[in-house]
Amino acid sequence: RILIIGACGQIGTELTSKLREIHGVENVIASDINTRKLDLVNSGPFEIIDAKNFNAIKDCCINYNIDTVYLMAALLSATGEKYPMEAWDLNMNSLFHVLNLAKGGTIKKVYWPSSIAVFGPTTPRDNTPQHTICEPTTVYGITKQVGERWCEYYYKKYGVDVRSIRYPGIISHKAMPGGGTTDYAVEIYHEAIKTGNYNCFLSENTSLPMMFMDDAIKATVDLMEAPADNLTIRSSYNLSAISFTPKEIFESIKRHIPDFKITYSPDFRQAIADSWPSSIDDSIARNDWNWQHSFDLDAMTEVMLKELNKRYAND
Ligand code: VAH
């Protein structure tokens, strides 16, 4: 059975439904620190678990005979800058708990998300390679960089089968992101439909690596199902799909909503975005487990506007 920690989050929500589709609802236990997504809570086995509580995770793994844990709980880049010690505590201790359960044999396999936030202002910005300088300037990026080191250590020293992806910004319509720097790329679709105006907290030419949620979920499942012998990276895989600027996503939306207007008021998140790469080289992921993205910017815009229009029409 599978346990998803942080199942109510932006990625956790969709990962839970995809894994339940593949493995059966009863074989995928969703958990989070609270029951904020009631549809998810009521759609299958759900447990309230604080990801910082080792015994809570261990008891759940034993009670449900869990063999695989997806650890999706974390404080992201913007929130991490407001609450640095809380971000370190949650992001690191939750990872140690799950890695130690695997080391002790309670569980067999671990998925843990990293991020392009491991890169910093000294990293080559264009087509950033898998192996390069990582001097992150955010607490979130530091936790992801150190987390990657621990994942590789537990794999090499204890044979723990932990797998990881450096997610770019992820855009989805089913659950809102929380506390990220790339969240503008989700907010902009909602505002295009709700008000026709969006005041963007990043400047218009800020290019960032991004990905539609369906591609991120496919990559996660494909990596976890890949034969262990094919995997040459046990820190975390570079992964990319598209890169775009606020201006480019605005123009993509404007082709559907001609009167849509945008203004730019960069805030503290501009410095975070400026420290990250503008595009990523994911050739090793493509080579090791046949990664291939499906959605380009316009295809993503089409799905996002179609699904959000349906949602707001029913509200
Ligand atoms: C954030 N969405 O903005 C996350 C992600 C690459 C960005 O790590 O913090």
The pLDDT score that the predictor gives to residue 39 is: 86
Tell me how far the alpha carbon of residue 59 lies from the centroid of ligand 1, in angstroms. Answer: 31
At 253 the three-state DSSP class reads: helix
**Ligand 1 pocket residues where CB is under 6 Å:** 76-77, 115-117, 140, 167-169, 177, 180-182
CA 146 to CA 74: how far, in whole Å?
Answer: 14
pLDDT band, residue 46 (cuts 50/70/90) = very high
Checking if the pLDDT of 315 tops 80, the result is no
- Residue in this structure with the two tokens 């805030």, named with its chain if needed: 267
Q: What's the pLDDT tens digit per position in 168-220? A: 999 999 988 889 999 999 999 999 999 999 999 999 999 999 999 999 999 99
Spell out a b/e string for 68-78, using b for 16 or more CB atoms within 10 Å of the CB, else e: bbbbbbbbbbb
Choose among 304, 207, 218: nearest CA to 255. 304
Q: What's the pLDDT tens digit per position in 254-296? A: 999 999 999 999 999 999 999 999 999 999 999 999 999 999 9
pLDDT (average), residues 77-83: 96
Of 64, 111, 140, 184, which residue is the catalytic one?
Answer: 140
Checking if the pLDDT of 38 tops 90, the result is no
The pLDDT score that the predictor gives to residue 36 is: 84
pTM over 0.80: yes
- Is residue 140 flagged as an active site residue? yes
